Chains A and B, each alone.
Chain A
Amino acid sequence: MTELALELIRVEYAYRRDVALRGVSLQVRPGEVVAVTGPSGCGKSTLLHCAAGILRAQAGTVHLVGQNLAELPEADRTRLRRTQAGVVLQFGQLVPDLSLTDNVALPLLLEGHEREAARRAALGWLERVGVADDAAATPSELSGGQNQRAAVARALVTGPAIVFADEPTGSLDTHAGEQIMELLLSSARVGGSALVIVTHDNLVAAYADREVRLRDGVIQHEVSLS
């Protein structure tokens, strides 16, 4: 059996006053595209943050490429996240003072790659996502769409098994949003990465192989779209 890219088993998470996840189980196969949808406050972003190891599930388990996040020492968990999980947020995830090249090279540098090799790989990705001409610019000098392209490059530069995208088109107009979605899908396909997209936008959800709809912290329904 092929190892799952992601497996959540009865994951629970509560903020100080609100219960966000009430025992959610989910499996994502390698290369699969899953849309997590649902009304605001249904727990979809919390689900993504628990799955990506940004938040720690308070109950239940999260397996990323077969490894139980809760059982890994902190350093190993960080390393696993950095190499196997790419993250694309709505905006603001690039380091403001760094050029696009350095932003995209960052995950490789943190992994101990040699500086020139990391920059070359970053440039290759910036070219693939169509912002190579702005490689030397900092995020504040560029549009939201251009920054999202760089964010996609940064999420994929390590060749992760899975990419988590939280409302990746949320700050863009329809046309730029479509371009980012197509880029995200084609880039994930190149490396065989699975993709989990949290979205409230039906037109974005329609790109997925499967829709998982949450309501009040539980899965309301799950349907195949392919």
Chain B
Amino acid sequence: MATAELVLGLLHNGPAHGYDVKRGHDAWFPDSRPLAFGQVYTTLSRLERDGLVEVVDRGSEGGPERTVYALTPQGREHLAHWLAEPIQPALGAVDEMVRKVVATIRTGEDASAFLARQRSSHLRRIRELKAVESDSDSSSWLVRDYMALHLDADLRWLDNALDRITEQKETSR
């Protein structure tokens, strides 16, 4: 995951401290795993080392120290480049599902029960995504749509697999 670039993106609208960055990330991606604090601070230090962000304030206002970071011109350029570049299409998080089916078949087991269970799990997830109220948030529907349509593509693969495995069973009978 491109955490570093996302952090740059979160600083795009102005300087912020680590907590704001984390909160911003979780608001952008409400259906994903929240960003861990540790990861935010490690990422900010690395970006500072590479000259992509700089510290603009170390105020504490009586509480714990709050380092405020801002994008440097190089950081802004890096972000613009990252946003413009298409990603390499590759197998994503679902490759475990494919591996499980291949392993089931290779070990001589019947994959159809697993495929049916996976199918219902995928459908349930789409149902959850659709149940989220559409609100004034300008981008979270984009992420939900992306996820639902990818789950749909997985489901088509699951259907094909289920049909072909059933056919194979029928012909070998």
Contact = CB atoms under 8 A, between A and B. Distances in A.
B127 A207 contact: yes
Contacts of B122: 202
B123 A202 contact: yes
A39 B126 contact: no
Contact of B130 (A206, A213, A220, A221): A206
Contacts of A39: 159, 163
B119 A223 contact: yes
Contacts of A2: none
A220 B148 CA distance: 24
Interface in B96-146: 116-117, 119-120, 122-124, 126-127, 130
A221 B130 CA distance: 24
B42 to A, nearest CB: 38
Size bracket of the B interface: 20 to 34
B126 A223 contact: no
A132 to B, nearest CB: 23
A213 B117 CA distance: 12
Contacts of A213: 116, 119
A225 B120 contact: yes
Given A221-B116, A223-B116, A205 B123 contact: yes
A29 interface: no
B166 A206 contact: no
A211 B166 contact: no
27 contacts: A39-B159, A39-B163, A178-B130, A202-B122, A202-B151, A202-B152, A202-B155, A203-B126, A203-B149, A203-B152, A206-B124, A206-B126, A206-B127, A206-B148, A211-B120, A213-B116, A215-B163, A215-B166, A220-B166, A221-B116, A223-B117, A223-B119, A224-B120, A225-B120, A225-B123, A225-B124, A225-B127
Given A39-B163, A178-B130, A223-B120, 10 more contacts: A202-B122, A202-B123, A202-B152, A202-B155, A205-B123, A206-B148, A207-B127, A215-B166, A220-B116, A223-B119
